[in-house]
A and B are shown apart, each in its own frame.
Chain A
Protein backbone atom coordinates (compact mmCIF):
# COMPACT_ATOMS: atom_id res chain seq x y z
CA UNK A 1 0.00 0.00 0.00
CA UNK A 2 1.66 3.19 -1.18
CA UNK A 3 1.46 6.41 0.82
CA UNK A 4 0.42 8.30 -2.31
CA UNK A 5 -2.47 6.80 -4.30
CA UNK A 6 -2.48 6.68 -8.07
CA UNK A 7 -4.75 4.85 -10.50
CA UNK A 8 -3.01 1.67 -11.68
CA UNK A 9 -3.67 2.44 -15.32
CA UNK A 10 -4.97 5.04 -17.72
CA UNK A 11 -5.25 4.97 -21.47
CA UNK A 12 -5.91 7.29 -24.35
CA UNK A 13 -5.65 7.62 -28.09
CA UNK A 14 -3.09 9.76 -29.91
CA UNK A 15 -3.90 13.43 -29.64
CA UNK A 16 -6.07 13.07 -26.55
CA UNK A 17 -5.42 14.54 -23.13
CA UNK A 18 -5.09 12.24 -20.14
CA UNK A 19 -4.78 13.12 -16.49
CA UNK A 20 -3.18 11.06 -13.74
CA UNK A 21 -4.13 11.76 -10.15
CA UNK A 22 -1.99 11.44 -7.04
CA UNK A 23 -3.86 11.48 -3.75
CA UNK A 24 -1.98 12.21 -0.56
CA UNK A 25 -2.59 13.60 2.89
CA UNK A 26 -1.80 16.38 5.34
CA UNK A 27 1.62 14.91 6.09
CA UNK A 28 2.83 14.95 2.51
CA UNK A 29 1.20 16.72 -0.42
CA UNK A 30 -0.45 19.42 1.67
CA UNK A 31 2.95 20.52 2.99
CA UNK A 32 5.28 19.48 0.20
CA UNK A 33 5.98 20.11 -3.41
CA UNK A 34 5.05 17.24 -5.74
CA UNK A 35 7.33 15.65 -8.28
CA UNK A 36 6.53 13.39 -11.22
CA UNK A 37 8.76 10.77 -12.77
CA UNK A 38 8.41 8.95 -16.07
CA UNK A 39 9.75 5.42 -16.44
CA UNK A 40 10.00 4.14 -19.99
CA UNK A 41 10.22 0.37 -20.45
CA UNK A 42 13.62 -0.90 -19.40
CA UNK A 43 14.91 2.54 -18.47
CA UNK A 44 15.79 4.44 -15.33
CA UNK A 45 13.31 7.03 -14.05
CA UNK A 46 13.33 10.49 -15.55
CA UNK A 47 12.27 13.66 -13.76
CA UNK A 48 9.23 14.99 -15.56
CA UNK A 49 7.79 17.67 -13.25
CA UNK A 50 9.28 19.31 -10.16
CA UNK A 51 7.89 21.69 -7.52
CA UNK A 52 4.32 20.89 -8.57
CA UNK A 53 4.37 22.35 -12.06
CA UNK A 54 7.87 23.04 -13.36
CA UNK A 55 9.35 21.17 -16.29
CA UNK A 56 13.07 20.40 -16.54
CA UNK A 57 14.77 21.47 -19.71
CA UNK A 58 13.88 19.14 -22.55
CA UNK A 59 10.48 18.03 -21.23
CA UNK A 60 7.78 19.02 -23.73
CA UNK A 61 5.15 21.49 -22.61
CA UNK A 62 2.54 18.80 -23.36
CA UNK A 63 3.28 17.67 -19.82
CA UNK A 64 1.90 19.78 -17.00
CA UNK A 65 1.49 19.38 -13.27
CA UNK A 66 -0.83 20.89 -10.72
CA UNK A 67 -1.60 20.56 -7.03
CA UNK A 68 -4.66 21.22 -4.91
CA UNK A 69 -4.53 20.75 -1.12
CA UNK A 70 -3.76 17.02 -0.75
CA UNK A 71 -3.95 16.00 -4.41
CA UNK A 72 -1.75 16.44 -7.41
CA UNK A 73 -2.32 15.88 -11.09
CA UNK A 74 -0.22 15.19 -14.15
CA UNK A 75 -1.82 16.09 -17.46
CA UNK A 76 -0.48 14.92 -20.79
CA UNK A 77 -1.84 16.84 -23.72
CA UNK A 78 -1.64 15.72 -27.35
CA UNK A 79 -0.87 12.12 -26.41
CA UNK A 80 1.85 10.40 -28.45
CA UNK A 81 2.86 6.77 -28.68
CA UNK A 82 6.21 7.51 -27.05
CA UNK A 83 4.39 8.66 -23.92
CA UNK A 84 3.52 5.06 -23.15
CA UNK A 85 5.29 4.52 -19.83
CA UNK A 86 4.83 4.28 -16.08
CA UNK A 87 4.35 7.53 -14.19
CA UNK A 88 5.05 8.05 -10.49
CA UNK A 89 4.36 10.95 -8.18
CA UNK A 90 6.58 11.70 -5.20
CA UNK A 91 6.58 14.05 -2.23
CA UNK A 92 8.23 14.61 1.10
CA UNK A 93 6.32 13.14 4.02
CA UNK A 94 6.69 14.41 7.57
CA UNK A 95 5.80 11.13 9.25
CA UNK A 96 8.29 8.53 10.51
CA UNK A 97 11.00 11.18 11.00
CA UNK A 98 10.64 12.37 7.42
CA UNK A 99 11.01 10.50 4.18
CA UNK A 100 10.39 10.65 0.45
CA UNK A 101 7.22 8.81 -0.53
CA UNK A 102 6.13 7.61 -3.95
CA UNK A 103 2.81 6.78 -5.49
CA UNK A 104 2.10 3.27 -6.65
CA UNK A 105 2.61 4.24 -10.27
CA UNK A 106 0.27 4.56 -13.23
CA UNK A 107 0.75 2.65 -16.46
CA UNK A 108 -0.21 4.83 -19.43
CA UNK A 109 -1.26 2.94 -22.53
CA UNK A 110 -1.59 4.75 -25.83
CA UNK A 111 -4.21 2.89 -27.81
Chain B
Protein backbone atom coordinates (compact mmCIF):
# COMPACT_ATOMS: atom_id res chain seq x y z
CA UNK B 1 0.00 0.00 0.00
CA UNK B 2 1.36 3.38 -1.02
CA UNK B 3 1.38 5.59 2.06
CA UNK B 4 3.35 7.79 4.40
CA UNK B 5 2.91 7.37 8.12
CA UNK B 6 3.99 9.99 10.61
CA UNK B 7 5.00 9.74 14.24
CA UNK B 8 2.56 10.73 16.93
CA UNK B 9 1.58 13.89 18.76
CA UNK B 10 4.18 15.74 20.79
CA UNK B 11 3.98 18.21 23.62
CA UNK B 12 6.99 20.43 24.14
CA UNK B 13 8.02 23.37 26.27
CA UNK B 14 9.14 26.67 24.74
CA UNK B 15 12.79 26.59 23.78
CA UNK B 16 12.84 22.83 23.25
CA UNK B 17 13.19 20.96 19.95
CA UNK B 18 10.83 18.50 18.29
CA UNK B 19 11.48 15.78 15.74
CA UNK B 20 8.71 14.32 13.61
CA UNK B 21 9.25 11.28 11.43
CA UNK B 22 7.61 10.30 8.16
CA UNK B 23 7.93 6.71 6.95
CA UNK B 24 7.17 5.94 3.33
CA UNK B 25 6.03 2.60 2.00
CA UNK B 26 4.83 1.20 -1.30
CA UNK B 27 7.03 3.37 -3.52
CA UNK B 28 10.67 4.15 -4.16
CA UNK B 29 11.45 6.68 -1.42
CA UNK B 30 14.60 7.94 -3.15
CA UNK B 31 12.80 8.83 -6.36
CA UNK B 32 10.77 11.56 -4.73
CA UNK B 33 11.13 14.55 -2.45
CA UNK B 34 9.46 14.76 0.95
CA UNK B 35 7.82 18.06 1.79
CA UNK B 36 7.03 19.35 5.26
CA UNK B 37 4.01 21.63 5.66
CA UNK B 38 2.32 22.83 8.83
CA UNK B 39 -1.09 24.20 9.70
CA UNK B 40 -1.56 26.20 12.87
CA UNK B 41 -5.04 26.31 14.44
CA UNK B 42 -7.38 28.37 12.27
CA UNK B 43 -4.62 29.16 9.77
CA UNK B 44 -3.75 28.11 6.28
CA UNK B 45 -0.96 25.78 5.31
CA UNK B 46 2.63 26.95 5.63
CA UNK B 47 5.37 25.27 3.65
CA UNK B 48 8.55 24.58 5.59
CA UNK B 49 10.87 22.77 3.22
CA UNK B 50 11.67 19.56 1.37
CA UNK B 51 14.37 16.95 1.06
CA UNK B 52 15.33 14.93 -1.96
CA UNK B 53 16.03 11.56 -0.42
CA UNK B 54 17.92 10.48 -3.52
CA UNK B 55 20.77 12.94 -3.09
CA UNK B 56 20.06 14.49 0.32
CA UNK B 57 19.52 17.94 -1.14
CA UNK B 58 17.28 20.18 0.95
CA UNK B 59 15.36 23.37 0.34
CA UNK B 60 14.08 25.37 3.30
CA UNK B 61 11.67 28.24 3.58
CA UNK B 62 13.62 31.31 4.55
CA UNK B 63 11.30 31.73 7.53
CA UNK B 64 12.57 28.51 9.13
CA UNK B 65 16.11 28.46 7.74
CA UNK B 66 17.86 29.01 11.07
CA UNK B 67 15.99 26.45 13.18
CA UNK B 68 14.77 23.73 10.81
CA UNK B 69 16.62 20.58 9.85
CA UNK B 70 15.19 18.01 7.45
CA UNK B 71 17.01 14.72 7.09
CA UNK B 72 16.34 11.29 5.69
CA UNK B 73 17.32 7.69 6.29
CA UNK B 74 17.05 5.89 2.98
CA UNK B 75 17.54 2.48 4.59
CA UNK B 76 14.36 3.08 6.57
CA UNK B 77 12.53 5.09 3.87
CA UNK B 78 12.00 7.72 6.50
CA UNK B 79 12.29 11.49 6.51
CA UNK B 80 12.67 13.59 9.64
CA UNK B 81 11.78 17.17 10.44
CA UNK B 82 13.43 18.78 13.45
CA UNK B 83 12.40 22.24 14.57
CA UNK B 84 14.40 23.88 17.34
CA UNK B 85 13.88 26.80 19.72
CA UNK B 86 10.16 26.15 19.79
CA UNK B 87 7.72 28.95 20.55
CA UNK B 88 4.04 28.88 21.35
CA UNK B 89 3.20 29.92 17.80
CA UNK B 90 4.83 26.74 16.51
CA UNK B 91 1.81 24.86 17.82
CA UNK B 92 0.41 23.24 14.68
CA UNK B 93 -0.29 20.04 12.86
CA UNK B 94 2.83 19.09 10.92
CA UNK B 95 2.38 17.14 7.70
CA UNK B 96 4.83 15.40 5.47
CA UNK B 97 4.04 14.53 1.89
CA UNK B 98 5.49 13.00 -1.24
CA UNK B 99 6.67 15.55 -3.73
CA UNK B 100 8.56 15.99 -6.95
CA UNK B 101 11.93 17.54 -7.64
CA UNK B 102 12.46 21.19 -8.36
CA UNK B 103 10.24 24.15 -7.61
CA UNK B 104 7.16 21.97 -7.55
CA UNK B 105 4.28 22.34 -5.06
CA UNK B 106 2.76 19.03 -6.12
CA UNK B 107 2.23 16.84 -3.04
CA UNK B 108 0.29 13.78 -4.09
CA UNK B 109 0.53 11.68 -0.96
CA UNK B 110 0.14 13.14 2.52
CA UNK B 111 0.81 11.78 5.97
CA UNK B 112 -1.87 11.82 8.61
CA UNK B 113 -0.32 14.79 10.38
CA UNK B 114 1.33 15.12 13.78
CA UNK B 115 0.06 17.63 16.31
CA UNK B 116 2.87 19.50 18.03
CA UNK B 117 1.79 21.54 21.02
CA UNK B 118 4.20 24.05 22.53
CA UNK B 119 3.16 25.14 25.99
The answer on a CB contact under 8 Å between B44 and A100 is: no
The answer on a CB contact under 8 Å between A100 and B111 is: no
- Which of A40-48, A63-71, A75-83 interfaces with chain B? A40-48
Size category of the A interface is 20 to 34
Q: Given contacts A44-B95, A44-B113, A97-B62, is CB(A102)–CB(B107) below 8 Å?
A: no
Instruction: Give 1 or 0 for each of A86-111: 1 = CB within 8 Å of chain B CB.
Output: 00101110001111111111000000
Total contacting residues, chain B, CB less than 8 A: 22
B61 within 8 A of A: yes
A32 within 8 A of B: yes
The answer on a CB contact under 8 Å between A103 and B44 is: yes
Instruction: Give 1 or 0 for each of B31-63: 1 = CB within 8 Å of chain A CB.
Output: 000010100000011110000000000010111
Return the contact of A91 from the options B61, B105, B107 (Cβ within 8 A): B105
B residues neighboring A (CB under 8 Å): 35, 37, 44-47, 59, 61-63, 95, 97, 103-108, 110-113
Q: List 27 A-B contacts (CB under 8 A).
A: A33-B104, A33-B105, A35-B105, A35-B106, A35-B107, A44-B111, A44-B112, A44-B113, A45-B95, A45-B107, A47-B107, A47-B108, A50-B106, A92-B105, A97-B62, A98-B59, A100-B61, A100-B105, A101-B47, A102-B44, A102-B45, A102-B46, A102-B47, A103-B44, A104-B44, A105-B44, A105-B45
